Structures are given as structure tokens and as C-alpha cells.
Amino acid sequence: MAATAVSAMQIMNASHSIYSSRGLLATNASVLVLTSRESVRNMLSSVSSISSTRHFPVRSSSSSSRFSKSITRAMSGETDKGPSTGLPIDLRGKRAFIAGVADDNGYGWAIAKALAAAGAEILVGTWVPALNIFETNLRRGKFDESRLLPNGSLMEIAKVYPLDAVYDTPEDVPEDVKTNKRYSSASKWTVMETAECVKEDFGSIDILVHSLANGPEVTKPLLETSRNGYLAAISASSYSFVSLLQRFLPIMNPGGASISLTYIASERIIPGYGGGMSSAKAALESDTRVLAFEAGRKGKIRVNTISAGPLGSRAAKAIGFIEKMIDYSYANAPLQKELRADEVGNAAAFLVSPLASAITGSVVYVDNGLNTMGLAIDSPSLSL
């Protein structure tokens, strides 16, 4: 199974000055009735002058010149200069489990990083065959540059768990998988066992992220896809989300949130994205709506999915033409720029935060607007 994987704004003072002036004028209306016009002018001038010097504090990192990409700021409610007056994404005191992190260049990693920047404690589940190399690279500092947060610190991962979300319980694991050397060195890696281990280690979580997808026959047209290949894609890419939420829901704190990652092939034809993967993404989106109702009623948990645009991650390269998909998106999306993983991470941080407390059962598009297009503007047909 392959793992797929707000910057702070300085607000202009003009409107704030006007608002402050009007507010003070209104509160002093009774005493201004008998005041001369000249006095009023002087007072307003003074208020305007005072208001216009009040800036919303902005914290900058010494590493900002090295990393110009927009990353969710860790908003602690305070800055070095005093209380923050912005609207924060504050996940301090929250714990997140991100299933499907096996390297530092996919959406899963970007989401983990955004949640960490917002203050969340990070746990990850890594595909068992990739576990050793991932932990080795993490330990040796090969991900340190990627771990850098906006405040200059490094993202800390509290614990890495082995996970293969294709298997719900130990009884579901075939003998040939149990004895496979890629699995033999790890233990307790089924969905049920992983949830139990997280409960034993940490007690509860607040955020569950599903960043998993695999289609062994993804390069095959649907008409050439075998039953086993089709069902494998459904199992790894969509039912795995059901299984994860089913097992983790009992240890999720009320008011928590869960998100997954989908793709526009669920509703549009993407030739080459085969092997049942388009069906798996459609199932994932349908399940998101049903799970939003069930988990909402049962545990007060919100469930959403992000329909992300193409990213040249290692996992996505299995499709075989990911670079062409990125080029197509750049040429035809309303926002003509390459989609960055951290933009998906930022959206995820918002969706699992209290700022999105009334959003559930939704497919949220983070694709530079490509999903809105009905015509490829770079088509040769348009030049005729």
C-alpha cells in the first residue's frame, strides 16, 4: 500500500481607523452635542492619528527567506510582541493520527506538518514495508529540512506506528503476508491493533487523517481490470477509511474531526487513472457523507474529504503520467500555478480546527479551481 500524501496576513489599517473613529464618536455623542465644530474636528483628527498607528502584530521566522512557501502559522494566541489579534488555527492540546505517511513529499506529510504548526501533537501510521527506511531517515535527520516549521522549530512526531490498513484484525492477515520478511520484523500493525496501541499509549485522539491509496492495476483501463485488482483498490483506498474510523471513533474526543483525500476522477473521466481507482474515490466520497452522519450522531465527530489536485509525489508517480497531469492543471486551472502540498495541508488544518465546526460531509476542492472547468483551454481544437 502506498501512502499518497495560513500564512499570517498583515491587515491594512484604513478600515480599522474609520471604525475606531466612528465608535468613539458614537460613544461620545451626548457630550459632543454642545461642543464646537472645531473641537469635534480636533478630536476626530486625534483619534484617527492614534488608530492608524495600531498594527496587527506579525511574527516572522529567521528562516522565512529560505522557505517562501505559504505554510499554516502556529497561532498560539500570542506573539513575541503581545496577544495575537488575528483569527487563529489553534490546535494546541489536540492529538492527531495521520495514516499513510511514508516519506516527506506527499500530502500526508504536508498535513502532519500543518497540524504540527498549529500546535497539534502528531502520531503517524506508516505502511509496514516502508517503516524501517522511514524511521531510519527520520532518525538520521534526512527529513530535517522538511520538518522545519514557520517558527523555526522542527516538527516532532510523538510516535510512528506500523500500519497496513488493508487488514482489520490479525485474523484477516494471510499466512504468506505474516511470514513475509517485510512484515516479520513488525507487530501489531492491523487497523484494530494500531487503534489499541494508540489508546494504550495516549488514551485518545482528536483528529484522524486518512492519506492512503493503492491500486495494483491503476495503469490498466477499467475494461482490462481484474476483479481482484478492482476490489484491492476499493479495499486499500476507500474501505480502509471506514475501518480506521470504525476502530478509532471510540477513542476520539467529542468535537474531533476526520479527513481523507480524494481525487476528481471520482466524478470526471480521467483516462489512465484506472484499475478501479476512480470507483474507489467515488466510494470514498459517498462514504464520507454517510460517515459524517453516523460519526456525527454517535461521537460528535466531523468527517470531510479533500479533493486535491495532482502532486508529483513518489506515490503518485505510480500512475505513470503524473507530470502531464500537473502540466494540464497548470495550463487549464483558473489559478495558473503549480499546486503545493502545503496548500492541501493548510486546508486540512482548517477543516479539523474549531473554525470549521459546522462543516461536515463535504468534499472540499483544493486544486487551483480545476474542478470548475468544463473546457480545456489549451486544447488544439480551440486554435482552429
CA dist 216 and 126 (Å) reads 18
**How large is the average pLDDT for residues 28-38?**
37
In terms of C-beta density within 10 A (0-12 exposed, 13-18 middle, 19 or more buried), how is residue 137 classed? middle
Secondary structure (3-state) at 208: strand
Tens digits of per-residue pLDDT, 333-366?
Answer: 999 999 999 999 999 999 999 999 999 999 999 9
Cell, residue 157: 512526531
Inside any domain, residue 4: no
Mean pLDDT, range 207-230, rounded to an integer: 97
Give the residue from 180, 184, 135 showing the smallest Cα distance to 160. 135
Q: Does a structural domain hold residue 8? A: no
Going by their DSSP bridges, the two strands 302-308 and 121-127 should be labelled as unpaired
Do strands 212-213 and 2-3 pair parallel, antiparallel, or not at all (unpaired)?
antiparallel
With respect to residue 236, please indicate whether it lies within any of the assigned structural domains. yes
Owning domain of residue 118: 95-368
Residue 202's Cβ-side half-sphere holds a number of Cα atoms within 13 Å equal to 24
Q: Please report the DSSP string for 215-264 in residue order.
A: -TTTTS-GGG--HHHHHHHHIIIIIHHHHHHHHHGGGEEEEEEEEEEE-G
Task: Determine how β-strand 157-163 pairs with β-strand 82-83.
Answer: unpaired
**Residue 133 pLDDT exceeds 90:** yes
Given pLDDT bands bounded at 50, 70 and 90, which one contains residue 79? very low
pLDDT confidence tier of residue 20, bands split at 50, 70 and 90: very low
Q: What is the pLDDT of residue 322?
A: 80
* pLDDT class of 33 with cuts at 50, 70, 90: very low
DSSP code of 154? B
Pairing of strands 78-79, 82-83: antiparallel
Specify if 125 maps to a domain: yes
- Farthest-apart Cα atoms in the chain, separation: 93
- Grade residue 315 by pLDDT with cuts at 50, 70 and 90: low
Question: Which stretch of 10-24, 110-124, 229-243 has the lowest confidence by average pLDDT?
Answer: 10-24
Distance (Å, whole) CA 249 – CA 315:
28
| 50-54, 162-166, 365-369: segment of lowest average pLDDT | 50-54
Q: How many CB atoms lie within 10 A of CB 186?
A: 16
Domain count, the chain: 1
Q: What's the CA angle centered on 271, arms 266 and 274, to 5 degrees?
A: 65
Whether the predicted model's global pTM rises above the 0.85 cut: no
pLDDT tens, 264-301? 999 999 999 999 999 999 999 999 999 999 999 999 99
Separation of alpha carbons 362 and 293, rounded Å: 11
**pLDDT at position 84:** 57
Question: In the predicted model, what is the mean pLDDT of residues 79-90?
Answer: 67
284, HSE (Cβ side, Cα atoms, 13 Å): 35
Q: Which residue has the cell 486544486?
A: 367
The CATH code of the domain that includes 147 is 3.40.50.720
List active site positions.
Answer: 263, 273
Q: What is the pLDDT of residue 28?
A: 38
Q: Is residue 213 part of a domain?
A: yes
Rounded distance, CA 380 to CA 279, Å? Answer: 30
pLDDT at 25: 31
Strands 302-308 and 2-3, bridge-based pairing:
unpaired
Residue 7 falls inside a structural domain: no
